[in-house]
Structure 1
């Protein structure tokens, strides 16, 4: 791999089981977002974001994480949490600040997980996942690299890697640049996943930055970089398969830039109707990951009746 765009073949083989799993998780995430809006008088009292529009890239990332890995999600990564095995009701406990919240007992915002559960990647606590996770996640990768070089891992066949997920707006923060510098300086095993929906709160990308994260990454000699279509699950899954494989084998960092639509609100307190026009909303809706995967599954021979049954089953998970 070189410091250039990686070409992801569209005919990458992905099993039907994985495609069905992604289709189900997408519809579960969609139904959760709908429920939060349907119960807006209650749910909006608790600040939250949903993953609508970002489901494809987030699920692709989740499916490539392994139990020995460490993950640092950002506040919109609801679908990553579903993808690693969290149940919708567990996420809702955090939304409503309930003591049953498996992450913090109701002490942290929705989408701010911390987890140490058998069979799942470890998620260290982070109090504000708006870019500040870049340095702790890079420090975690530094610790992994140190232990590896000191021969402290008994299982050398399944060494951990780190996933640091970031929104595109956070890349303008100085601490993110500091993290990138250390990652390439010390060859750290970390995947920086940048989810770019062209919005940073209520400002567009063109109002906030002179370049996107992929272009910015070119300034860090030794940081591999890749673009994927974050609204297409097949493209996202194939790209992240290559990215995670690179980091696991080469023990070096990579930045993956994923372009996604923003289909929901920025947060429950910064609602889309307050700052986005009809033209922008329609433009983003064209890249909705759900109909894209729906069409792909039809092309794979799955019937419309089967897809409707899968959708109903997935939506029911969000309601029970």
Structure 2
């Protein structure tokens, strides 16, 4: 049984993440219309949004502490919000501002917040090895912290994922691998990506538990993650979670999704984990007025973050080589941080 306070906390994270993605969609299109120019606007370059994935983030991260490590893929904002990443500084990073998490140099696919041990990468499945490394470090220090690596179902054939499963199993590491299965690897349907119908079955080859959550339900994810995170924290090794989610937007902003059948898009819009969780809260006695108040608070938080980020300065051109490495040596600044 999942308590009302836990359900409400997940609901808050999920509505915040959903509204955040909807607002980023609007901000991204600034300066890119009427003719779409990916290099123009407030947020130049690519942008991958996670609307429809919220349950996988909220249900797992509800069990985590600040000292637990989370790595996310190129679609990271919902996971970052659920892990407690600083929202204004994350937004400033996405807008390329000097006060962003990475001083405006990483963008939305390369966020890093050491205060809550969160990082993400634009390279497919490349969050898995760092998560395994963090888990191994915790084990060697005799700490009970855990690591969680998120990836999409399109990444499950990558060597980084499979090698990470092997190393985690070999050393009984406290790590949980969370596969967000939205049925599409960019424009490729999942059945054309892998012959394994249920990604959780891949755990069998590594002698670790594999669990499939086959519907987009934050409570079901929470219950599966409770066992997986608890198992890791107790020193009993890794788990592979395969979570069904639904992509409500294109693979990236500007994706016309001509490859995707109308009925699949309609199904993704209809199967909304947020509305399912709202019904759960109603069963616990939370009325619509309270639900609206939660949504309004979430929207205000997002608007404040965007407004703050817009007001932040852009990095100075002369600082381009600060805090980076060139040819294996510290950059021209001479810094080693």
Question: Alpha-carbon deviations, 1:160-180, whole Å to 9, x = none?
Answer: 211111111111112211111
Conservation of the 8 A alpha-carbon contact between 2:179 and 2:241:
yes
Conservation of the 8 A alpha-carbon contact between 1:73 and 1:129:
no
Q: Distance in 2 between matches of 1:167 and 1:91?
A: 22
Correspondence 1:147 to 2:141 = yes
Q: TM-score, normalised by structure 2?
A: 0.81
Q: Distance in 1 between matches of 2:297 and 2:133?
A: 41
Question: More relative contact order in 1 or in 2 (CA 8 Å, sep 6+)?
Answer: 1
Between structure 1 and structure 2, the one with the greater Rg is: 2
Q: Distance in 2 between matches of 1:165 and 1:127?
A: 10
Q: Distance in 1 between matches of 2:176 and 2:132?
A: 10
Correspondence 1:186 to 2:171 = yes
Aligned to 1:264: 249
Instruction: Map 1:203-222 to 2 at 5 A.
Output: 203-211=188-196, 212-220=198-206, 222=207
Give the secondary structure class of the aligned counterpart of 1:209. Answer: coil
Instruction: Map 1:115-126 to 2 at 5 A.
Output: 115-117=113-115, 120=116, 122-123=117-118
Correspondence 1:96 to 2:95 = yes
Conservation of the 8 A alpha-carbon contact between 1:68 and 1:159:
no
Bigger mean CA deviation after superposition, 86-95 or 70-79: 86-95
Q: By how many angstroms is 1:34 displaced?
A: 1.8
Q: By how many angstroms is 1:38 displaced?
A: 2.3
Instruction: Map 1:50-89 to 2 at 5 A.
Output: 50-89=49-88
Q: By how many angstroms is 1:139 displaced?
A: 2.5
Q: By how many angstroms is 1:192 displaced?
A: 0.7
Aligned to 1:155: none
Aligned to 1:46: 45
Q: TM-score, normalised by structure 1?
A: 0.85
Question: Alpha-carbon deviations, 1:40-67, whole Å to 9, x = none?
Answer: 1335623222221111110122221112
Correspondence 1:224 to 2:209 = yes
Aligned to 1:9: none
Q: Distance in 2 between matches of 1:87 and 1:182?
A: 32
Conservation of the 8 A alpha-carbon contact between 2:83 and 2:118:
no
Correspondence 1:308 to 2:283 = no
Q: Distance in 1 between matches of 2:141 and 2:48?
A: 36
**Structure 2 alignment gaps of length 5 or more:** 33-40, 305-337
Q: In the alignment, which of 14, 21, 46 is matched to residue 26 of structure 1?
A: 14
Conservation of the 8 A alpha-carbon contact between 1:48 and 1:95:
no
Correspondence 1:245 to 2:240 = no
Q: In the alignment, which of 2, 7, 15 is matched to residue 13 of structure 1?
A: 2
Q: By how many angstroms is 1:13 displaced?
A: 2.4
Q: Distance in 1 between matches of 2:42 and 2:283?
A: 38
Question: Alpha-carbon deviations, 1:279-306, whole Å to 9, x = none?
Answer: 1101122221111111111222211222
Q: Distance in 1 between matches of 2:58 and 2:77?
A: 9
Aligned to 2:107: 109
Bigger mean CA deviation after superposition, 271-280 or 175-184: 271-280
Q: By how many angstroms is 1:99 displaced?
A: 1.2
Q: Distance in 1 between matches of 2:43 and 2:252?
A: 9
